[in-house]
């Protein structure tokens, strides 16, 4: 007999409500072609890549130290698809550095597919595995940034303490730097050292904004509506707690 796990019923119900609301609003927004807020800096990625191609300097991309199961890494793969495609189109050399062997395989496939599709030659040393050890990876990336002097650096994905080391090293040589992570401890470092930073959930919606499909851009209203729902729930909780009512806490504790 199937049983609901006590203490998780309200979480499941809340998840379903939020998902239904987000996807329903995304569908309505796509039908009505609604416009949503933009993420500053995303539209300049293409220009940066063109400039790197003009200077004949590489474009560097790293998804950080997360494994293939980390949401930030998966979101980073979607952005890599975009960057690799544009590098291939503009004849810019891309350099990808990985710390996880499985991510290495995935990034290699993405870059290879982008270059093959554009009819450009793919070389093995475009996508490099550095090390699973955090600081060996950091030292390896710092070495690449110093030696190969990329014009544009993308640090998008799951980063830990190595974030500042590589971003600061990149700062000294690169013309543009683009950061992005949901790790709260590393975000301040990226905002300090990068020209543009994807903060928190922007990482998950960035590829939607980069899409050429207008309906896809409209659908991004959905996640924003989810945030409004979360804000309303927080405000209701704060108000009820101030008035001494525990109804919301009781419901969420189910």
Kindly identify the residues of this chain, within the stretch 35-64, that bind another protein according to CB under 8 A.
none
In 3D, which of 97, 90, 151 has the Cα closest to residue 125?
A: 97
Q: Does 165 bind another protein (CB under 8 A)?
A: yes
Kindly state the smallest distance separating residue 247's Cβ from another protein, in Å: 21
CA 177 vs. chain centroid, Å, equals 14
Number of residues that bind another protein (CB under 8 A): 72
DSSP structure string for 169-227: HHHHH-SEEEEEE--TTTHHHHHHH-SEEEETTHHHHHHHHH-S-HHHHHHTHHHHHHH
**Using CA atoms, how far apart are residues 104 and 94, in angstroms rounded to an integer?**
14
> Shortest approach of another protein to residue 25 CB, angstroms?
11
Among the residue ranges 39-47, 50-58, 219-227, 237-245, the one whose residues contact another protein (CB under 8 A): 219-227
Among 35, 192, 232, 251, binds another protein (CB under 8 A): 192
Check: CB of residue 153 under 8 Å from CB of residue 64: no
Tokens linked to 167: 């971003």
Torsion sign across C-alpha atoms 191, 193, 196, 200: negative
Six token digits for residue 211: 């899409």
Cα–Cα nearest to 149, from 84, 64, 87, 58:
58
Q: Which of 93, 186, 196, 205 binds another protein (CB under 8 A)?
A: 205
Candidates 46, 89, 168, 195: give the one binding another protein (CB under 8 A): 168
Closer CB to another protein, 27 or 55, in the complex: 27
Least CB distance to another protein at residue 154 (A) = 18
> Exactly one of 135, 246, 247, 249 binds another protein (CB under 8 A); which one?
135
Provide the minimum distance between the beta carbon of 133 and another protein in the complex, in angstroms, as a whole number: 7
Binding to another protein, residues 90-119 (CB under 8 A): 101-102, 104-105, 108
Q: Is there binding between residue 89 and another protein (CB under 8 A)? A: no
């Amino acid at each position: 007999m199937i049983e609901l796990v006590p203490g998780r019923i309200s979480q499941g119900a809340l998840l379903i409500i939020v998902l239904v609301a987000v996807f329903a609003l995304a569908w309505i927004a796509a039908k009505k072609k609604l416009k949503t807020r933009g993420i500053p800096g995303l539209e300049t990625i293409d220009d940066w890549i063109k400039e790197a191609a003009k200077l004949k300097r590489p474009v560097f991309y790293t998804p950080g130290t997360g494994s293939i199961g980390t949401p930030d890494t998966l979101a980073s793969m979607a952005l890599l698809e975009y960057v690799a495609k544009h590098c291939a189109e503009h004849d810019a050399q891309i350099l990808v550095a990985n710390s996880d062997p499985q991510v290495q395989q995935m990034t290699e496939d993405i870059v290879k597919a982008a270059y093959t599709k554009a009819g450009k030659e793919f070389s093995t040393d475009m996508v490099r595995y550095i090390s699973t050890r955090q600081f060996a990876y950091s030292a390896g990336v710092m070495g690449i940034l110093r030696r190969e002097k990329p014009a544009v650096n993308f640090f998008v994905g799951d980063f830990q303490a190595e974030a500042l080391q590589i971003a600061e090293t990149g700062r000294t040589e690169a013309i543009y730097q683009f950061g992005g992570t949901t790790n709260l401890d590393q975000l301040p470092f990226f905002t300090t050292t990068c020209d543009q930073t994807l903060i928190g959930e922007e990482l998950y919606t960035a590829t939607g904004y980069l899409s050429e499909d207008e309906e896809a851009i409209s659908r991004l209203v959905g996640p924003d509506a989810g945030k409004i729902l979360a804000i309303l729930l927080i405000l209701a909780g704060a108000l009820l707690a101030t008035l001494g009512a525990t109804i919301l806490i009781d419901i969420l504790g189910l």
